[in-house]
Amino acid sequence: MVDPLHLSRVEPRRFFSSHKSLVTVFWIATFASLFIWQFGGVSGRGGALYRAGSVFWWGTSASPGGFPRLRPVSFNLTDFGAVGDGVTMNTDAFERAIFAISKLARKGGGQLNVPPGRWLTAPFNLTSYMTLFLAEDAEILAVQDEKLWPLLPPLPSYGYGREHPGPRYGSFIHGQNLRDVVLTGNNGSINGQGQTWWKKYRQKLLNHTRGPLVQIMWSSDIIFANITLRDSPFWTLHPYDCKNVTITNMTILAPVFEAPNTDGIDPDSCEDMIIENSYISVGDDGIAIKSGWDQYGITYGRPSKNILIRNLIIRSMVSAGVSIGSEMSGGVLNITIENLLIWSSRRGVRIKTAPGRGGYVRDITFRNVTLDELRVGIVIKTDYNEHPDGGFNPQAFPVLENINYTGIYGQGVRVPVRIQGSKEIPVRNVTFRDMSVGITYKKKHIFQCAYVQGRVIGTIFPSPCENLDRYDEQEQLVKHSDSQNATDIDYEI
């Protein structure tokens, strides 16, 4: 196996052959682990899924029908008259089953088992102390008629429907003010059937902002594990102002083109969250960490913080593998993003903001990130000028500081780094260490910077911009930069 620590010290000519081995090994190891988990580690033959912290394991008890039992009481969807033929509307069955579970909170809640079949329904709400378990080959289908989707007020930290003023469509599966909710299964799926929504959006036929596939708001102790989410009308999984959220062993899918705004996972003003061991391929950002929009987010004042993102494979042909912002007005703090493979995408990891956002992005760590066939690898953009209305303060400048990139590898990347600070929004205390990214474009200025202060430790490839201080491997200063405000941004590359 190639030693990744050695890659930053080899000459560029040797990089390409050695790094292909690294990418291959990473792919094999990651897909093998996902395969083992999906098909070996989660047997449908009895066994119960328990949680200890963020760790799951299987026991031996099972409810009738072969479903693992996670709660004292369990129900099957068919007990409430549901028909899984893909045509029959099952909204009443879901609502009656969830109402029955809502009466069991003092007894530890209840579990709703969804057996194999295609279960068409209008949007529905979850309840506390509930487990929704999707069997293998179970698929919950969202009705496509938007008249059956409820309208909700705009999110308070956005103050405006994201696409239209006024009310917004609610999510397909929704929850507010909940505690102890688990969505899991034997890789069953929730299908938003978003094709109709995407078409109407492009044709400007919708009067309200599209709804997410799953949205949980103002809730705590939430788990998503071992299910597939696909073809959302809008953002796919949107935890909003939640605490203690675990998202693990998920598959999130949408077409990589012509599926607008189908972000994979959007933590929004959330804290104490882990996102891990998952595959995401969607029509917008794979993950986008948010915390409100301009003056509304500043007033709401809830940051996204203490989030760990690890062990993911992501593809985003339109946007980025992992983004922070651009709606980050409540602040983003203490984020670790590690062990990622981002492949065949437009961008790798990105921070985006603008004057008027306010807030801050600080204490961000990117570690052990592999970039395979990308247009731009690392991006920081400070002129992402989308605003909810004219009421924002153009002097509300966000603060960007303490951002670390360690162990960044890749091949086939056109522009490895583009950090575009500005006089009003400089990027401070950025660190690069152990970086070797093979390039497809031989022109100079492929490590682009503007208004950036920070340092490079050791030797990295490609050569860094002149804005950054140079340190040796022992972190001793070699050369101090006096060009922190230099600008070398070229969007023609």
Task: Please identify every residue annotated as catalytic.
Answer: 284
3-state secondary structure of 71: coil
Q: Is 15 helix (H, G, I), strand (E, B) or coil?
A: helix
Q: Is the dihedral of CA 368, 369, 372, 378 positive or negative?
A: negative
Residues contacting residue 122 through CB under 8 Å, at least 6 positions apart: 89, 91, 142, 143, 148, 149
Handedness of CA 270, 267, 27, 374 (dihedral sign): negative
**What's the distance, Cα to Cα, between the start and end of the chain in Å?**
33
Token duo for residue 5: 């620590």
Q: Kindly provide the b/e burial profile for residues 66-85, where b requires at least 16 CB atoms within 10 angstroms of the residue's own CB.
A: ebbbbbeebbbbbebebbbe
Read off the tokens for 62: 């099972």
Contacts for 295 with CB less than 8 Å, ≥ 6 apart: 159, 329, 356, 358, 391, 392, 393, 396
Residue 288 burial (CB count, 10 A): 26
User: Which residues, listed in sequence order, are joined to residue 243 by a DSSP beta bridge?
Assistant: 220, 271
- Contact partners, residue 311, CB within 8 Å, separation at least 6: 30, 33, 276, 277, 278, 339, 340
Question: Measuring CA to CA, which residue among 143, 145, 168, 146 is closest to residue 238?
Answer: 168
Q: What angle do CA 81, 85, 86 make, to 5 degrees?
A: 110
| Residues whose CB is less than 8 angstroms from the CB of residue 141 and which lie 6 or more positions away in sequence, other chains included | 86, 118, 119, 120, 121, 191, 193
Bridge partners (DSSP) of residue 164 are none
Between CA 296 and CA 237 the distance in angstroms is 22
Please report, as a single letter, which amino acid is at residue 282: V
**Amino acid letter at 246?**
T
